[in-house]
Amino acid sequence: MKNNQVDHNLPEPTKAELEILQVLWEFGPSTVRFVNEKLNENREVNYTSTLKQMQILTEKGILKRDESQMKHIYIPVEAEEKTKVQLLDRFVNTLYKGSASQLMMQLLGNEKTSKEEIEEIKRLLEGME
Amino acid sequence: MKNNQVDHNLPEPTKAELEILQVLWEFGPSTVRFVNEKLNENREVNYTSTLKQMQILTEKGILKRDESQMKHIYIPVEAEEKTKVQLLDRFVNTLYKGSASQLMMQLLGNEKTSKEEIEEIKRLLEGME
DNA sequence: TGCATCGTACGAAAAATATCGTACCTTAGA
DNA sequence: TCTAAGGTACGATATTTTTCGTACGATGCA
């Protein structure tokens, strides 16, 4: 198998798509209006732009929706965790040739990772075995 | 400060650009031809496409080049580590709201992260303090 | 009933990325 | 000197992603 190939279980969400997913993850199934309002807390986006994105996400099978009401309710098809694991996996493979420990090293070396975080990580590891 | 904002120190390298950076990281300063050949081990790319990308990367200030010879030699401006740290930082912020330990949890929970990797990580942590 | 409000659908424009064709220069060697 | 090989420059096209305008259907209510 060639090197840089990735499994395309799900089409990789684009940046704008990820923003929307994040809103849905945080607040649960939502209407377009709600999502659009959340997005607008960070930057200006037209309502129909968000609508279109969410429709595209639905076409791609990343979201599904409940159309029983006029206000459609959008829901991520995959659980937050599962999607994040995929993205993380891709990230590790791309940047660290799959080596989680290398990624760790950078995380630990990064001064933005606080002492508390590091302690927390240690506790996690000890609790594993 | 608004939530989802990110520091744009360097323009974020795009996917195709990252591919090129990775070749340069792995093999050191290189000519376009060399990079192109490496890329072609994974997928077909026309020589001039790679050339153009590398010129764009240079315009963006991500690469610099030695033009003293006819065959220009391209070099990443920032060290591999620095760039990766930035990308990682962005990644953690975007997907894990900046929580490194949350990212860790997923890394550890991922069956693709091997026992050896986990042991390695533990060793790293113990060696820290 | 009439109309303002709020919803979806959808094509098309805009913007960002990626790829390529062609022009043209330089060098090496027959 | 001439030509083939191999280099850069760069505009144009293709593709992907993002944004938006417009059409039009539902609903609520004066």
Q: How confident is the model over A94-127, as pLDDT tens digits?
A: 999 999 889 988 888 877 777 888 788 778 777 7
On whether any CB of chain B is under 8 Å from the CB of A40, the answer is no
On whether any CB of chain A is under 8 Å from the CB of B97, the answer is no
Per residue in B92-115, pLDDT tens?
999 999 898 899 888 888 777 778
Comparison of pLDDT for A2 and A11, the residue scoring more: A11
**Which nucleotide is closest to the Cα of B70 by its C1'?**
D7
pLDDT band for A43, please (50, 70, 90 cuts): very high
pLDDT at A8: 43
Residue type (1 letter), A18: L
Q: Which residues contact B12 (CB under 8 A, 6 or more apart)?
A: B87, B90
Q: What is the mean pLDDT of residues A21-42?
A: 97
Residue type (1 letter), A5: Q
pTM: 0.86
Q: What is the mean pLDDT of residues B56-73?
A: 96
| Long-range contacts of the stretch A52-57 (C-beta < 8 A, 24+) | A53/A16, A53/A17, A53/A20, A54/A20, A56/A17, A57/A13, A57/A17, A57/A20, A57/A21
Looking at the predicted structure, is the pLDDT value of residue B74 above 80? yes
Give this complex's ipTM.
Answer: 0.85
pLDDT at A129: 56
CA of B24, closest CA in chain A: separation in Å?
A: 13
pLDDT at A61: 95
CB contact under 8 A, B108 and A125: yes
Comparison of pLDDT for A73 and B111, the residue scoring more: A73
The rounded distance, in Å, linking the Cα atoms of B13 and B65 is: 17
On whether any CB of chain B is under 8 Å from the CB of A121, the answer is yes
